[in-house]
Amino acid sequence: MGAMEGAAVDEVVRRLVEGGRAGRQVQLSEAEIRQLCVEAKRVLLSQPNLLRIHAPVKICALIDDKVLCMHGGLSPELNSLDQINDIERPTEIPDEGLLCDLLWSDPSSDTQGWGESDRGVSCTFGADKLVEFLEKNDLDLVCRAHQVVEDGYEFFAQRRLVTIFSAPNYCGEFDNVGALLSIDESLMCSFQILKPNETGAPRSKRPIPNKNSVSCVINFETTGFILLPLRVQAYDLSH
């Protein structure tokens, strides 16, 4: 069996990616699966055993000096953004400290100041520490992930932080919605809602972990965009 044509490979990959984003299964024929495996093997064998690459993922991202993005959250060791630039890479993720917290800490409505995390690693932080950090560094918003949230996104501390979770039906065990966040040149935040797979199956057997109260009340029965101007409480629905 010959290798797949480039266009055929691209088409299969496109279907898999789009299916994954929509939270639905993608049906491939046996021939497509076999040919995809053959092509993957050919590509892997054509590469050297050791590839020298640059770190492809940033620890944090700063958008227009106003929106700080990371996977986890804040750290009691983080006083200025310059400390993030000073983290040496490559490095192993430590069990504690600044890098650990940037990747694994969580906001908590039950916490004042800093608290212990139920995860057994890193810490939790309250709204007071979030607002203190934002005002000290002249930031408007922290955008982070790391927690399954039922509606795909969830605000914290009067919309000074938002948790984004882009995988609907997480691990096939939850009935959560997914969401994607886009920020335009005027710092308008738009949330694209990714609905969970609707198969008629029973609802999720597992509760959404680490679920805090949602800061806004909207019924997301259909896919759409929520527009949130920074510093403004009101927002609009667009189709």
Q: pLDDT digit of tens for each residue in the chain (239 aa)?
A: 455 566 777 888 888 888 877 777 888 888 888 888 888 888 888 888 777 766 666 789 999 999 999 999 999 999 999 999 888 887 888 999 999 999 999 999 999 999 999 999 999 999 999 999 999 999 999 999 999 999 999 999 999 999 999 988 888 888 889 999 988 888 888 888 888 876 544 444 444 554 332 333 222 233 344 444 443 322 222 32
For residue 220, give the nearest of 206, 207, 239 by alpha carbon: 239
What residues form DSSP beta bridges with 124?
106, 115
In sequence order, what are the residues at sequence separation of 6 or more whose Cβ sits closer than 8 angstroms to the Cβ of residue 37?
A: none
The pTM of the full predicted model, rounded to 2 decimals, is 0.65
In sequence order, what are the residues at sequence separation of 6 or more whose Cβ sits closer than 8 angstroms to the Cβ of residue 70?
A: 59, 60, 61, 102, 103, 142, 143, 144
Letter string b/e over residues 65-86, b meaning 16 or more CB atoms within 10 A of that residue's CB: ebbbbbebbbbeebeeeeebee
- For tokens 């979030």, the residue is 130
Task: Measure the CA angle with vertex 183, ends 87 and 100; round to 5°.
Answer: 25
d(CA 235, CA 37): 47
State the Rg of the chain over Cα: 21
The predicted structure's pLDDT at residue 146: 93
